[in-house]
Amino acid sequence: MPEGDTVYRSARSLDEALHGATLTRCDIRVPAFATVDLSGQVVHEVISRGKHLVAHVGETSIHSHLKMEGSWHLYRHGSKWRRPAFQARIVLETADWVAVGFELGTLELFPTSEDELHLGYLGPDLLGPDWDATAATRRLTEVGERPVAVALGDQRNLAGLGNVYVNELCFLRGLLPTRPMSEVTDPAGLVALGHRLILANRDRSERTTTGNLRRGMGTFVYGREGQPCRRCGTRIRSGQLGRSELEQRVTYWCPVCQT
């Protein structure tokens, strides 16, 4: 599942391949931007902001969000794509590389000068060079009675945590996902642990919150409904949380280890 660490690695790979290169082809396959052609423009950088990926090309920003199914691939010219062409939403070519964005949940273009207008609502970026733990903690403490799992996953509070990290953090801190943020006694510790977890996985192709990279052993509760808790043996439970469609998320928890 794409989380902030996945997007960070994608942006880093794209930047290493495209940084400073001139686009020789630009094929955008979404109706709103299908007529835009950035060929001849220089790729200044590709960066991540939380779970968002932004390529600065000329004076234009290409903003994408992977959502559930999206991914960016890099290919050498003439190489076979690993996903079908009909799933491609954008193709960017340079003299050396072909970058393809497949099934991107969001793909939009806007002037780079408007980056903050479109992305300024995001909270502190857990993997950003300007990570601010104090600001992230403050934002979490300001949400009051919202459930901790909803607050952690809200990108306006801190940017980069998806459902995997949210559920694992709640387990590691002994918190039910439904616990109101106002009842969390150490929000700074929660933020610090979230930062340590995502930072530890930033350069890994296989994410783990348990420290175990063996297949099926990477998480404590996420995706383990009905399986025994790795600490106490109680069956892991699962449910839906969130009042609105935008907030709804699947949660996993141990009814003994989390209160």
Active site residue 69: no
Residue 67 a catalytic site member: no
Answer yes or no: are the C-beta atoms of 223 and 168 closer than 8 Å.
Answer: no
Q: Is 255 a catalytic residue?
A: no
Of the listed 16, 31, 45, 51, which one is catalytic?
51
Q: What's the rounded Cα separation, in Å, for the pair 256 and 126?
A: 30
Catalytic hit among 3, 147, 168, 187: 3
Cα(150)–Cα(125) distance, integer angstroms: 17
What is the C-alpha separation between 96 and 9, in angstroms, rounded?
Answer: 20
User: 220 near 171, Cβ under 8 Å?
Assistant: yes
Q: Which residues pair with 73 in a beta bridge?
A: 100
The runs of H, that is alpha helices, within the chain are 4-18, 115-119, 133-141, 148-153, 163-172, 187-201
Q: Which of 2, 124, 177, 187 is catalytic?
A: 2
152-156, Cβ contacts within 8 angstroms, sequence gap of 24 or more: 152/190, 152/194, 153/249, 154/123, 154/247, 155/50, 155/51, 155/121, 155/122, 155/123, 156/121, 156/122, 156/123
The helix/strand/coil state of 252 is: strand
Q: Tell me which residues are annotated as active site.
A: 2-3, 51
